[in-house]
Structure 1
């Protein structure tokens, strides 16, 4: 299950990167694109950190960070 979610979060980040690459270049779009790329990358990164947790309680706590970034 963890590997499936790792792959899913990686795809989530790359899908947002590809979406943002299609936006026109303007100051407004760049601000939104940057935020979307950083947020989707943070979801992937935080999930990988959660997978390295040593205890179940720590894993759950770190998943809450993933959820917050995704939100």
Structure 2
């Protein structure tokens, strides 16, 4: 197999592995009945107690679902 093709195939495999792991983490943190509540509590505290986290959270997602918050000072 050509080295470039082999490298490309390895990168695709690694990307699939990372995506699968990210999906498993998402399921664990947001949908697992045992750990999702704890994660939601921690996430909520971070978002509302740390203005920098709040700013990042509101600016990394669509302004349709998260209205823009103006004049935050960290």
Greater fraction helix: 1
TM-score by length of 1: 0.41
TM-score by length of 2: 0.40
Larger Rg: 2
